[in-house]
Amino acid sequence: MSKLPLAGQQILVTRPQHQCQALAELVEAAGGKPLILPVIDIETVAKKHWQTINIDHFDWLIFVSRNAVESFIAGWGHELPKLCQFAAVGEGTAQAMREHDIPVDCQPEISNGSEGLLQMPLMQASQVRGKQILIVRGNGGREHMADTLTARGANITYIEVYQRVLAQPTAAKLKQAMMADKVICTSVAGVDNLCSIFMNTWPDLLDKPLTVVSDRIKQHASSRGFKTIYVSADASDNAVVDTLINMDD
């Protein structure tokens, strides 16, 4: 029987608690031992704190993450407008939309963040010029999508429906995490929080091979001092695990 590709390897999974299970299962299926240490906690923002909007006036709602979908649904409590179209930045977001019966009218073929969605025909200037677009996101989200769509002639509004806060892992979880052979971070905030949590306790962290899901996160991780960084082909769990496997070739 052939040896599984991640056999004997301990992989640190840093995604928020409710988003890490599928990735951990794929690591395990490849023979690795997932060490689950969420470094970001997601807190839903109550609807009373959202920006006041009339959702019926929008041509598009764009959800930037699964968290955006879940937090929006938790607070909205009404039917969605029939004439509005809905977009997802990737497959994970689209899956969350489908789970809540939100139609997915536009999503990129490859999950690589806002860049992929912005390449879609429905997001080009000829299609969005003069359109009212609502971006549903967390606090302090990127401006790239809004800036690009604004340059293409769209009118952009935000609502921020969740906030990211630094997780507070137990001492036992921290000790276990430091046994990792490889590390996964799937957001800039994740990289920052990981560094904050282990700033004074894990001097070897920056020497560990780090897998990220975009060049933007790679550049940020490099600026934080990580030495060996691999970028997965896209943001899917399968692509992340493929990167973990192939980095040893």
pLDDT band at 142 (very low <50, low <70, confident <90, very high): confident
Q: Within 10 A of 182 (CB to CB), how many other CB atoms are there?
A: 22
pLDDT for 1 beyond 60: no
- In our burial notation (b when 16+ CB lie closer than 10 A, e otherwise), range 206-236 reads bebbbbbbbebbbebbeeeebeebbbbebbb
On the question of pLDDT at 219 being above 80, the answer is yes
Residue-level pLDDT at 87: 97
Specify the 3-state DSSP secondary structure of 165.
strand
Reported pTM? 0.83
Question: Per residue in 96-127, pLDDT tens?
Answer: 999 999 999 999 987 667 888 999 999 999 99
Strands (E), the chain: 10-13, 33-36, 40-44, 60-63, 85-88, 132-138, 155-166, 182-184, 210-212, 229-231
Span 213-223, average pLDDT: 95
Do the bridges between strand 85-88 and strand 182-184 make them parallel or antiparallel, or are there none, so unpaired? unpaired
Q: Provide the CATH number for the domain formed by 43-164 in this structure.
A: 3.40.50.10090
Matching CATH topology for 10-39+167-246 and 43-164? yes
Per-residue confidence at 147, pLDDT binned at 50, 70, 90? very high
What's residue 249's pLDDT? Answer: 64
pLDDT at site 109: 83
Residue extents of the structural domains in the chain: 10-39+167-246, 43-164
Average per-residue pLDDT for the chain: 93
Picking from 185, 165, 187, 188, the residue whose alpha carbon sits closest to that of residue 177 is: 185
pLDDT on residue 236: 87
Q: What is the pLDDT of residue 111?
A: 67
Q: How far is 239 from 90, CA to CA, in rounded Å?
A: 13
CATH class of 10-39+167-246: alpha beta
